[in-house]
Structure 1
Amino acid sequence: MKLLWLLVVLLGAAPVPRKKVRVVSPPLVPFQVQTREAAPPIPIELAPPETWPAELGAPLTSDECARLALNYQGNVTIAAHQIEQQKGVTQVARAPYFPNVSTSTTYLHTLVNDRLSGSNQVSATVTPANNTIGSSLTGTNNTSSIDSTNNASGGIIGSGGVSVSNPVTVSASLRQMIWDFDRTRFQVAQSKELEAAAAANYTQVQYDTVFNVKNSYYNWVQAERLLAVYRGNMEAQRQHLAEAEARFRQGIALPSDVTQAQTNVSSAVLNVTAADVNVTIARTTLANQMGLDPRIPLRPSLESHEKTPAVADSQQLFDLALEKRPELAFAESAIRANVFAIEAARRGNAPTISANIQYVAFGDRFYPNQTTLNFLLTLSWNPFDGGLTAGRVKQAEETLSISRVQLETYRNQVIMEVSQAFANLRGAEQRVMTSELQVASAQATLDIAAARYRAGLGTFLELVDAQQAALQSGINRVTAQLGLEQMRATMNHALGVPLVETRAPL
């Protein structure tokens, strides 16, 4: 009985075979890719001015832009006028060396009533220019008036005669400073040194203008070359899009290849638009640095290169910069000017000896009939001036101390700028060589990736990566090449050597 129950249990636990259900999948629908290619960028064009200099029609090199800036930049003209202004100060300081001539003419018409009874008196003065009559009275309860016939009348007790005097005086004087204990000589010497300082400042303004123009010029050329690189990348991305669409229609490419190519074309168009904006900004900045209308359609010469002095080692660079830099010449002139200023200040209250000749002619008619001739020798001295001279001496001495500190500061700054320019120049040269190798390698990689994709051996992502690497290598090469030109211009500026023929002052 137990065996029977065990058999029943085992039969109940056995699996029951189920009927198979057939699952029918829906038919595959081909993936449709909508072609959406970005529109080409719109060029940026500014309305040009009505007229501009004829020499701006041809492509410009950096030296040509610098020469034009020296002619049109307002800062250069201002610095030239400052030299002429200081020459005027020198002329003023030198004036005591020359005679001082002055003349004067006086006509006086006086009416006097000298016969009045009592204590009442009348006096009046007539100014011929406007016949204005002024009168004064003394006494009480009396009035007076003077009519246009120059007679006195009114409520005055008694009568009397009127005396009239019409003196005319003509004078001329000549004054010549003989000796002022060299105060004028030191003032003139100080002003001459300030002229030299103004000339050094003029040179500095020229160098700074040329340097700024060349930096702006190479920024402009770099923007133009980068625009060409981005346009080349845009055309390459459009070609990749056409290849991806063709392969997709043949059924041997993924839909993601097409959409990725469309995205890359849009990014390339955005890059071209941004690069075109940068070109416009760089061109207008350069025109403004040159002192020209920013709307002038300038054109760059893409074959413009900078030259640097041929030197053996860095020590020669330092020696050349310390000899040529205009800031050092300016500081040295300022020191000499302050030395002369101290000497002039010490003689601020020194005696001054001068000679005077006076000629005076006078009479009671319109033409004087009496003359005098006076000869004077004058000694002027102010021994007690309340500390004015001592204060001016102290002020000049402290200014001299400041000038000496500034000279040392300029020397250290020049050495620092030359050191940094030397290091940056060597680094820029290395970057140019490296970027050339990078471009060659990236282009070879791009060619291989394109061939593999066309043969069906490579993926579109591999082609995209190779194209991006080629774009970046092209950007790096342009940046390195133009960076080298800028570093050469920076080295020339740090050395203080003329970048171009500078314009002479006015």
Structure 2
Amino acid sequence: MRIRAALCLLALTGSPSTYAQWLDAYGTKHIAASSPAAPLLNNASCLPEPVDHPLELEDAIQQAVCANPQAREAWANARAQAAAVGVNEAAYLPTLNATAGIERDTLATTYDAGAFGNIKTSQNSSSKYGVLNLNWVLFDFGKRGAALRQARELLAAANATQDDVLQTVFFNTAQAFYAVRDARASMEAAQQTENVAKESVAETSAKHDAGAGTLSDQLQAQTTYRRAVIDRVNAEGNERTAKGTLAAAMGLDANTPMQIDGSEPPANSSEFEQDVDRLIDEAKASQPKLVAARAKLEAARANVDAARAQGRPTISLVGSLTQNNPSYQQQPEQLPIASSRGSTIGIQVTIPLFEGFASGYRVAEAQAQADAQEADMQNTELQVSLDVWRSYQSLHADTANLDNSKALLTDAEHSLEIARGRYKAGVGTFTELLNAQTALADARKQRILAVSKWSTDRLRLAESLGNLGLWAAR
């Protein structure tokens, strides 16, 4: 008995359909990304990046796209849709089902024999049977084709959505990286401002002690210095906060110590020295949001065709093979039945005649969904063109301001040198020196802001074009 149970279990777990679950007969594993970050990283690995050395922007982005849960979710959705393509491909092949069983029936009958009492008889029967059923849809007026086309378009939309998610993760991580760099630059500028203010305190104190300066100048210098100390402490706190935000974006604990490469990027916008009309056309062709919207529209149109085909006839090849080996307690005058076998094959036509008028409503629902998807695609197209336009104009303005902010900083530094020399020589006032210090501090802030905006807008334009990649981090 145990051996028979084991054989049955082996037959169930080792059936051909079970083995088919491990096969990829339609190559669906190759029509979706091989990893959550594959569309963006290409051949780069997802190994954890060490944080004991200054991080480059590429390192932070690679770690973020590998650890981000939204990227994994988008990848899972794409793989699920790729499997759905395989399911719809399988509809073109026949289905074959086998049924087998062992039965034992017992029939007990009691007869009333009057004076002889009751007579009891029993009849036992057992049988072993097997049935093999074949069904192959030969023609269905385009229902399977529409379903397959819909699945493929939804796969294209899922792949584009995964691409868009990675672009968003890329951009958000880059922003967090630039925020750390800006916070460090602000802290360094605050330290420089504090040092300048400290020197002014020493100069005013020396002049006051020598009887050549006023107490008012000394107090003003001390007040400016205290303010500079407060700004420096705040800047240090902002840098620590920005580092925690970047660590979280990379999938690390916020308290993970890290250092970044904070070198200022070269001011070169040659990647985007194109006509804005050409850039908009490029975005309309390759922007992931728009690619996904167009694929969803085509899927909705395919769904309309599938809804129409659902009310049409289906022609199928059907067949069956039956084997039965009964064993009865036969009456003496009957010949025993050793076995029986039957087979059936034919063409079956299924014609939907009436289903409560549901067919028309299904088509109307699918058509309305397609119309809504078309409107969404047109809205996405307008939004993409607007994003490109805004990013393009901002980048050009920020590129010009890079040179302007650098010239402003140079002039402010030179102005402070002159004001300090005049004050030491006794021909300049402390107010003039204080104004020069304030102008220099503001110039440093403007320089940091100009570099930050240029770096961010450069990536923002690449994102609006759908061209974000590790090349953009150089």
- Structure 1 and Structure 2 fold alike (TM over 0.5): yes
Matched, 1:383 2:345: no
Q: Is the CA contact 1:308–1:488 (under 8 Å) kept in the aligned structure 2?
A: no
Question: Counterpart in 2 of 1:169?
Answer: 129
1 CA distance for matches of 2:68 and 2:458? 23
Q: What pairs up with 1:302-313 in 2 under 5 angstroms?
A: 302-303=262-263, 304-305=265-266, 309-313=271-275
2 CA distance for matches of 1:199 and 1:309? 26
Q: For structure 1, which segment, 492-501 or 479-488, has the greater mean C-alpha deviation from structure 2 after superposition?
A: 492-501
Q: For structure 1, which segment, 316-325 or 85-94, has the greater mean C-alpha deviation from structure 2 after superposition?
A: 316-325
Question: Counterpart in 2 of 1:221?
Answer: 181
Q: Is the CA contact 1:98–1:176 (under 8 Å) kept in the aligned structure 2?
A: yes
1:182 to 112, 135, 142: 142
CA positional deviation for 1:378: 2.3
CA positional deviation for 1:335: 2.0
Partner SS for 1:374: strand
1 CA distance for matches of 2:230 and 2:355? 76
Matched, 1:463 2:433: yes
2 CA distance for matches of 1:53 and 1:296? 14
Question: Counterpart in 2 of 1:330?
Answer: 292
Question: What residue ranges of structure 2 are gaps of 5+ in the alignment?
Answer: 1-46, 329-336
Matched, 1:371 2:341: yes
1 CA distance for matches of 2:188 and 2:208? 30
CA positional deviation for 1:308: 5.1
Q: Which has the higher helix share?
A: 2
2 CA distance for matches of 1:278 and 1:495? 32
Alpha carbons of structure 1 residues 93 and 285: separation in structure 2 relative to 1, 3 Å? same
Question: Counterpart in 2 of 1:110?
Answer: 105
Matched, 1:68 2:68: no
Q: For structure 1, which segment, 463-472 or 91-100, has the greater mean C-alpha deviation from structure 2 after superposition?
A: 91-100
AA at the equivalent of 2:165? V
CA positional deviation for 1:85: 0.6
Partner SS for 2:119: coil
AA at the equivalent of 1:499? G
1:479 to 444, 449, 452: 449
Partner SS for 1:358: strand
Q: Is the CA contact 1:424–1:487 (under 8 Å) kept in the aligned structure 2?
A: yes
Q: Is the CA contact 1:169–1:368 (under 8 Å) kept in the aligned structure 2?
A: no
2 CA distance for matches of 1:384 and 1:66? 58
1:199-227 CA-partner distances (Å, limit 9, x unpaired)? 11122122222222222222221111111
Alpha carbons of structure 1 residues 259 and 171: separation in structure 2 relative to 1, 3 Å? same
Q: Is the CA contact 1:244–1:258 (under 8 Å) kept in the aligned structure 2?
A: yes
AA at the equivalent of 2:64? A
Alpha carbons of structure 1 residues 72 and 368: separation in structure 2 relative to 1, 3 Å? farther
1:3-28 CA-partner distances (Å, limit 9, x unpaired)? xxxxxxxxxxxxxxxxxxxxxxxxxx
Partner SS for 1:160: strand
2 CA distance for matches of 1:311 and 1:241? 49
Question: What residue ranges of structure 1 are gaps of 5+ in the alignment?
Answer: 1-51, 120-155
CA positional deviation for 1:232: 0.8
Q: Is the CA contact 2:243–2:254 (under 8 Å) kept in the aligned structure 1?
A: yes
Q: What pairs up with 1:350-361 in 2 under 5 angstroms?
A: 350-361=312-323
CA positional deviation for 1:490: 1.4
Alpha carbons of structure 1 residues 321 and 432: separation in structure 2 relative to 1, 3 Å? same
Q: What pairs up with 1:374-453 in 2 under 5 angstroms?
A: 374-453=344-423
Q: Is the CA contact 1:350–1:383 (under 8 Å) kept in the aligned structure 2?
A: no
Q: Is the CA contact 1:350–1:382 (under 8 Å) kept in the aligned structure 2?
A: yes
Matched, 1:53 2:48: yes
2 CA distance for matches of 1:269 and 1:59? 27
AA at the equivalent of 2:368? E
2 CA distance for matches of 1:318 and 1:105? 64
Q: Is the CA contact 2:170–2:468 (under 8 Å) kept in the aligned structure 1?
A: no
| Total equivalences in the alignment | 415
1 CA distance for matches of 2:262 and 2:433? 31
TM-score by length of 2: 0.81
1 CA distance for matches of 2:401 and 2:338? 92
Question: Counterpart in 2 of 1:286?
Answer: 246
Partner SS for 1:116: strand
Q: For structure 1, which segment, 187-196 or 332-341, has the greater mean C-alpha deviation from structure 2 after superposition?
A: 332-341
1:425-446 CA-partner distances (Å, limit 9, x unpaired)? 1221232222222222222221
2 CA distance for matches of 1:301 and 1:368? 87
Structure of larger gyration radius: 1
Q: For structure 1, which segment, 371-380 or 324-333, has the greater mean C-alpha deviation from structure 2 after superposition?
A: 371-380
Structure 1 segments, 4+ long, off by >6 Å, are: none
2 CA distance for matches of 1:375 and 1:316? 62
CA positional deviation for 1:55: 4.2
1:115-167 CA-partner distances (Å, limit 9, x unpaired)? 32189xxxxxxxxxxxxxxxxxxxxxxxxxxxxxxxxxxxx962322222223
Q: Is the CA contact 1:244–1:253 (under 8 Å) kept in the aligned structure 2?
A: yes
1:304-363 CA-partner distances (Å, limit 9, x unpaired)? 457552434322222222222122221221222122111111011222222222222223
Alpha carbons of structure 1 residues 221 and 357: separation in structure 2 relative to 1, 3 Å? same
Question: Counterpart in 2 of 1:237?
Answer: 197
Alpha carbons of structure 1 residues 399 and 308: separation in structure 2 relative to 1, 3 Å? farther
Matched, 1:193 2:150: no
Alpha carbons of structure 1 residues 450 and 157: separation in structure 2 relative to 1, 3 Å? farther
AA at the equivalent of 1:180? D
CA positional deviation for 1:381: 2.2
1:495 to 461, 465, 470: 465
Alpha carbons of structure 1 residues 469 and 311: separation in structure 2 relative to 1, 3 Å? closer
